[in-house]
Amino acid sequence: MYGCVRPICCPPQYCVRDFYTTRTVPVIHPVVTINRQNIVDVPQHFIQQTTRNVTVDQGFQGQGFPGQGFMGQGFQGQGFTNRLFF
C-alpha cells in the first residue's frame, strides 16, 4: 500500500491586489459676505457770533484822589474808576 497515498489538501491562500480609482465628490462650503455700514458720530462745531452794543456810563470821574480818575493826581494809566468789564 505504499503506492496509494492520500494527498493532503491545504486551505487556499489568497493574494489580494488592491487598485484604487479616484472619484470626485462635491463638498460645498457656503460663504456669506456681509457688508456692514457702521455709523460713527463725529462732532461738527459751528460758531454763532453775536455783536452787542453796550453803553457805559462813566459816572463821576473821582478827581482829587491820588491814583484815581482819568485826570486825578498821580495818574498812572489806571483809567476810569467806574469801568465795566465782560
For the chain, 86 residues long, give each residue's pLDDT as a single digit of tens.
567 888 899 999 999 999 999 999 999 999 999 999 999 999 999 999 999 988 888 777 655 555 555 555 544 555 555 555 55
Dist CA 82 CA 62 (whole Å):
9
Q: Is the model's pTM score more than 0.85?
A: no
Dist CA 66 CA 14 (whole Å):
134
Nearest to residue 50, comparing CAs of 8, 10, 86?
86
* 66 close to 72: Cβ distance less than 8 angstroms: yes
Nearest to residue 62, comparing CAs of 74, 49, 47?
74
Dist CA 64 CA 73 (whole Å):
6
